[in-house]
Amino acid sequence: MNTSDFTKKYFADLNSAIISLDCSAFNKVVSLVEKSKKKSGKIILIGNGGSAAIASHLAIDFTKAANIRAINFNESSLLTCFSNDYGYEHWAEMALEFYADNDDIVILISSSGQSENIINAGRKAKKMGLSLITLSGFLESNPLKELGDINLWVDSSEYNVVENTHQIWLLAVVDYLIESNK
């Protein structure tokens, strides 16, 4: 395949994924975030790898641009301490136990929806009565998607298509909130 054919197909696939957003789910995310903000809640974003980078980016944009408190758990000392003390598969759920408050929203990001530490964090969020938004891709019936109150799922098995779509969808939430509060 030449570069021209590749780029046409790649961006067509990415565009298709982006515009597949379920608008009713998007509206529910916006409503949930606005409700949490009114109750002085915060957004907690968690992911692994590229999804952790998305969590970092969005935590800053929710906080600075949309004026909604948001955090992520990408501090290396926290992650390595909790992984060492509780096991990697449990570090995120333990971070929620230490940092989450009643009116918080948890946003879990996993391209495959199969990451054990993210699934355990989802179970913990549900057990704590926290609102849970999940972002995943690959198989539609993945374990993470089944846990969420609101699920944003990308119909792709290409990591970069899934991750870029997750980031764009979450940034659209931020941009909507900025625009609606002008």
| DSSP, residue by residue, the chain | --HHHHHHHHHHHHHHHHHT--HHHHHHHHHHHHHHHHTT--EEEEESTHHHHHHHHHHHIIIIIT---EEE---HHHHHHHHHHH-GGGHHHHHHHHH--TT-EEEEE-SSS--HHHHHHHHHHHHTT-EEEEEE-SSTT-HHHHH-SEEEE-----HHHHHHHHHHHHHHHHHHHHHHT-
pTM of the predicted protein model: 0.97
pLDDT for residue 182 is more than 90: no
pLDDT (tens digit per residue) in 147-175:
999 999 999 999 999 999 999 999 999 99
pLDDT for residue 110 is more than 90: yes
Alpha carbons 27 and 32: distance in angstroms, whole number: 9
pLDDT category, 181, cuts 50, 70, 90? confident
Contacts 24+ apart (CB under 8 A), 149-156: 149/32, 150/25, 150/28, 150/29, 150/32, 151/25, 152/21, 152/22, 152/25, 152/26, 152/29, 153/113, 154/17, 154/20, 155/17, 155/20, 156/13, 156/17
3-180 folds as Rossmann fold (3.40.50)
Task: Give the pLDDT score at 34.
Answer: 97
The two tokens of residue 16 are 């298709």
pLDDT for residue 126 is more than 90: yes
Region for residue 40 given its phi and psi (left: phi exceeds 0; alpha: psi -120 to 50; beta: otherwise): left
What share of the chain has pLDDT > 70, as a percent? Answer: 100
Mean pLDDT of the chain, nearest integer:
97
pLDDT (tens digit per residue) in 73-92:
999 999 999 999 999 999 99
Alpha carbons 15 and 145: distance in angstroms, whole number: 22
